[in-house]
């Protein structure tokens, strides 16, 4: 098995528009959740979200690119730029360099707002860039064009595990010899009334509009649903041999990846957590380690009733007497869907690098059915760890687990 290393990371999130800002705020317990500013949410039952802040796309992107891209594409592009810059990668063999994009709902907000403008209006409200602006794969295409990436190109859409599965797919491309370097991306921006109405009517979202900073409460007994977040994340992955040959600084190692399906229900997790258990077990087996070697898990932890209960139970069954620290950073960022699968792996890399376990904020009273795990409530902890796992579970029974380690 080839050793696959991480040489670049990029992130744009509700608590920071680069990796360092994100990490500093996430470890200091800063919340990025507030009343929605993108549009007037006054008539909606749910009015809170984790939006990107202090963001002007023209500070990052040329005007022509802004005009022809959805916000989720812009977030992917910005995260990719940061990761590529940190990696100091010069693409000398374009056909041996690939890209995988993960997104759950691609350009759905653009679709919704365009349809709203079109209703009762003329066809001129639909611009010629509409189709490429909403397609999930065009995010990867724009980045590939700019960086001359001519190797494998995939866009995966596995709901909220899309980002983790983008990493897994990228690793498979390297493992099978299709590429030496892969850029793994995740991005999401779904904030529009259409999505909020649907999720609110499904009773999936928190309605704590009066206290937005504490609306997302993973594993807390008073949790009442998740909070939508948006953002982007990127990783540069390459073989150890390739990284060393070009003198790259190695930030961490992708030790193992898991992917399973519950085959149970389109929205609810398997009540016994069978898919989640199998996914974590698969990743541990591929990593060639024992569960006791994992010191931290960045949980999927969305603050939904069933989701938190099932994930807690599954972690206990997999890890038994060697339970690691567990935290959910979604208390601070909200649920960034496809983007979260990447940014939460970045969280694991930074936890290993710094010896800091980020907290689960807004966790004041652990649900008794989740108890028995140290969820690092409200304040970060110091811990010397060498391996960490990131879980991402999505609609359709999709499960992703990624294990990273110190190099």
pLDDT tens digits along 131-142: 999 999 999 999
| 380 inside domain | yes
| 108 inside domain | yes
pLDDT at 128: 83
| 260 inside domain | yes
From the candidates 160, 173, 257, 370, give the one annotated as an active-site residue. Answer: 160
Question: How long a stretch of residues is the chain?
Answer: 407
pLDDT at 126: 78
**Whether residue 357 has pLDDT greater than 90:** yes
**Whether residue 326 has pLDDT greater than 90:** yes
| 405 inside domain | no
From the candidates 173, 300, 348, 370, give the one annotated as an active-site residue. Answer: 300
Residue 264 falls in the annotated catalytic set: no
pLDDT at 74: 97
For range 365-374, the mean pLDDT: 97
pLDDT at 230: 98
pLDDT at 124: 63
Residue 73's domain comprises 1-397
**Whether residue 265 has pLDDT greater than 70:** yes
Average pLDDT, the chain: 96
Residues above pLDDT 70, as percent of the chain: 98
Residues above pLDDT 90, as percent of the chain: 94
Residue 160 falls in the annotated catalytic set: yes
For range 261-268, the mean pLDDT: 95
From the candidates 270, 335, 348, 370, give the one annotated as an active-site residue. Answer: 335
| 403 inside domain | no
pLDDT at 2: 87
pLDDT at 123: 60
For range 315-343, the mean pLDDT: 98
How many folded domains does the chain comprise?
A: 1
- Give the CATH number, domain containing residue 98: 3.40.47.10
| 249 inside domain | yes
**Whether residue 104 has pLDDT greater than 90:** yes
Residue 300 falls in the annotated catalytic set: yes
| 407 inside domain | no
| 406 inside domain | no
For range 92-106, the mean pLDDT: 97
- Would you place residue 117 in the very low, low, confident or very high pLDDT band (cuts 50, 70, 90)? confident
pLDDT tens digits along 341-352: 999 999 999 999
């Amino acid at each position: 098995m080839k050793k696959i290393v991480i040489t670049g990371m990029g992130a744009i999130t509700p608590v920071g528009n680069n990796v360092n800002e994100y990490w500093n705020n996430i470890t200091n317990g800063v919340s990025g959740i507030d009343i929605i500013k993108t549009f007037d949410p006054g008539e909606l039952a749910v009015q809170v979200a984790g939006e990107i802040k202090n963001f002007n796309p023209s500070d990052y992107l040329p005007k022509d690119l802004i005009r022809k891209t959805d916000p989720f594409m812009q977030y992917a592009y910005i995260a990719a730029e940061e990761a590529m810059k940190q990696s100091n990668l010069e693409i000398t063999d374009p056909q041996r360099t690939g890209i995988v994009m993960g997104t759950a709902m691609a350009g759905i907000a653009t679709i919704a707002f365009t349809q709203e403008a079109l209703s009762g209006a003329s066809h001129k409200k639909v611009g010629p860039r509409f189709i490429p602006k909403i397609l999930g794969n065009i995010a990867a295409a724009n980045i590939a064009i700019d960086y001359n990436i001519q190797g494998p190109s995939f866009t995966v859409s596995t709901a909220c595990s899309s980002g983790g599965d983008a990493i897994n797919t990228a690793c498979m491309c390297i493992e099978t010899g299709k590429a030496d370097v892969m850029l793994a991306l995740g991005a999401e921006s779904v904030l529009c009334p259409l999505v909020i109405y649907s999720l609110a009517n499904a009773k999936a979202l928190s309605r704590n509009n009066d206290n937005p900073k504490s609306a997302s409460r993973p594993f807390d007994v008073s949790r009442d649903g998740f909070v939508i977040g948006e953002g982007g994340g990127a990783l540069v992955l390459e073989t150890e041999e390739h990284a060393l040959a070009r003198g790259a600084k190695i930030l961490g190692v992708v030790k193992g990846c898991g992917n399973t399906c519950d085959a149970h229900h389109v929205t609810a997790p398997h009540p016994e957590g069978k898919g989640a258990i199998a996914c974590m077990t698969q990743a541990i087996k591929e990593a060639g380690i024992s569960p006791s070697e994992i010191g931290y898990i960045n949980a999927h932890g969305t603050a939904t009733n069933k989701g938190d209960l099932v994930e807690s139970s599954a972690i206990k069954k997999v890890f038994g007497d060697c339970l690691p620290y567990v935290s959910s950073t979604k208390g601070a960022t909200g649920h960034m869907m496809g983007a979260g699968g990447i940014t939460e792996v970045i969280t694991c890399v930074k936890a290993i690098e710094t010896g800091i376990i980020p907290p689960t904020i807004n966790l004041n009273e652990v649900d008794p059915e989740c108890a028995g795990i140290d969820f690092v409530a409200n304040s970060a902890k110091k811990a010397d760890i060498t391996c960490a796992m990131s879980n991402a579970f999505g609609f359709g029974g999709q499960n992703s687990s990624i294990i990273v380690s110190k190099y």
